[in-house]
């Protein structure tokens, strides 16, 4: 099946700092989503972004489908941004989502 790799695996930031999370995938995809899992386990949809760039407040995401990667930008980070960020892809050859291993983000005050 498709491989989905995220980097870095762990990230510690000072409040107010910016960061970039990366998701690489090994095959063509129809669909790509970014999720934030809060410390209580709840997964929240951040972006549906199979290609192009989207912005939502302090978060933005870019997917370059031809080069098989996606980036999630977090600006002016806050302690509430802490948690695990997952990307998930739906390959063109399949019909289900494959999740990456996640980036665990800790924002310290």
Partner 1 sequence: ETGVTQTPRHLVMGMTNKKSLKCEQHLGHNAMYWYKQSAKKPLELMFVYNFKEQTENNSVPSRFSPECPNSSHLFLHLHTLQPEDSALYLCASSQMGGGATDTQYFGPGTRLTVL
Residue 100 binds partner 1, judged by CB under 8 A = yes
Contact 35/86 with Cβ under 8 angstroms?
Answer: yes
Residue 96 binds partner 1, judged by CB under 8 A = yes
Q: Is the peptide bond before 8 cis (omega within 30 degrees of 0)?
A: yes
Residue 43 binds partner 1, judged by CB under 8 A = yes
- Closer residue to partner 1 (CB): 15 or 64: 64
In the region spanning residues 5 to 34, those forming contacts with partner 1, defined by CB under 8 A, are 30-31, 33
- 4-25: string of b/e by CB count within 10 Å (b at 16+)? bebeeeebebeeeeebebebeb
Residue 48 CB neighbour total at 10 angstroms? 11
Residue 42 CB neighbour total at 10 angstroms? 10
| Residue from 17, 69, 82, 94 in contact with partner 1 (CB under 8 A) | 94
CB 33 to partner 1: min, Å: 7
Residue 41 binds partner 1, judged by CB under 8 A = yes
By rule CB under 8 A, what count of residues binds partner 1? 25
Q: Which residues of the shown chain bind partner 1 in the complex (CB under 8 A)?
A: 4, 30-31, 33, 35, 40-45, 48, 50, 86, 88, 90, 94-102
């Amino acid at each position: 099946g498709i491989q989905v790799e995220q980097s870095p695996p762990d990230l510690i930031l000072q409040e107010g700092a910016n960061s970039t999370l990366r998701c690489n995938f090994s095959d063509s995809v129809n669909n790509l989503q970014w999720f934030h899992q809060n410390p209580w386990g709840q997964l929240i949809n951040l972006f549906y972004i199979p290609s192009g760039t989207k912005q939502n407040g302090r978060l933005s995401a870019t997917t370059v489908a031809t080069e098989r990667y996606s980036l999630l930008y977090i600006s002016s980070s806050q302690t509430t941004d802490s948690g695990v960020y997952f990307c998930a892809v739906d390959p063109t050859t399949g019909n289900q989502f494959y999740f990456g291993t996640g980036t665990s983000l800790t924002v310290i005050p």
